[in-house]
Amino acid sequence: MLLNKGETMNEEYDFVNRYRKINCNQKQPILPEDGCKNDKIIPTHRILERHKSERLLKKVSGNLGLGCKLNNTDDLELHCKIYRGKKCVADLYKEWDLKEFRMHDTIKISRLGKGFKERFYKIHEICQKNYVVMFFPPAKTRTDLEVALQMVICEYGFNEDVLEWALAIFDRCRSKIKPFFKAK
C-alpha cells in the first residue's frame, strides 16, 4: 500500500474518490473527467503514485522555502517547475514506472563562428564533472545545436539536503557553461 507514516486509509480513499469514487484497493482504471475524449485511461495505482510523488516534492521544496508549480500530463507521473522567489531554478519531472526524479534544462549552442568543436567539448567536460548528462533532441535549426541537460535524483534519497545539493550543482554547471554558448 502507498500510505506514508501517519496517514490513514481514508486520506488515500478521499484522494481517489475525487476522481471517480473508486475504492483504492481496486486496480481498475479511472476515467478522466472529460469523458475519455483523449482516450487516455489512468490506472488507479498510477494516480496514487502521482499523489505520493506530489506530496513528497511539495514537502521537500516547502521545507527549503522553494515554490513548485505542477504541470502534470498523462505522459509523466510528475512535472513541475521549482521557484526560488520569482525565478525558476529547475524543471523537475518523473516518468511513470521509474524510481527517480530528473532535473532538466535545455540550452542552445551557436554553431556559427570559430571554435564550435572546442566549445562543445568544454561544455561536455564541465557537465561530466558535475553529474549532468547531455543528450540531443532532433535538430531544428542549422545555426544552433540544442542540448538537453539532465541530472538524476533517486526517489528513495529525495529529501531537503539532496534537493538543495542537486539544485546547487545544476546551477553551478549552468553558470560554468554559459560563456560557451556563443562564438567569440
pLDDT average per 10 residues of sequence, the chain (184 residues):
49 46 44 49 81 90 92 86 90 88 89 86 92 85 86 84 92 91 72
| Beta-sheet strands, E only, within the chain | 29-30, 42-43, 67-70, 76-84, 87-95, 100-110, 133-135, 144-154
Q: What pLDDT score does 180 carry?
A: 86
Q: What pLDDT score does 141 carry?
A: 78
Amino acid identity at 150: Q
Where do we find the cell 475519455?
36
Q: What pLDDT score does 5 carry?
A: 53
What totals of helices (H) and strands (E) does the chain contain, helices first? Answer: 4, 8
Largest CA distance in the chain: 63
Helix (H, G, I), strand (E, B) or coil at 85: coil
Q: What are the chain's domains?
A: 99-184 (3.30.70)
Sequence-separated contacts (24+) of 35-41 with Cβ below 8 Å: 38/74, 40/74
Q: What pLDDT score does 18 carry?
A: 47
Q: What pLDDT score does 72 carry?
A: 80
- Per 3-state DSSP, the chain is made up of helix, strand and coil in percentages (nearest 5) of 40, 30, 35
Q: What pLDDT score does 74 carry?
A: 81
DSSP bridge pairs for 90: 82
Q: What pLDDT score does 40 carry?
A: 61
Q: What pLDDT score does 110 carry?
A: 85
DSSP bridge pairs for 70: 80
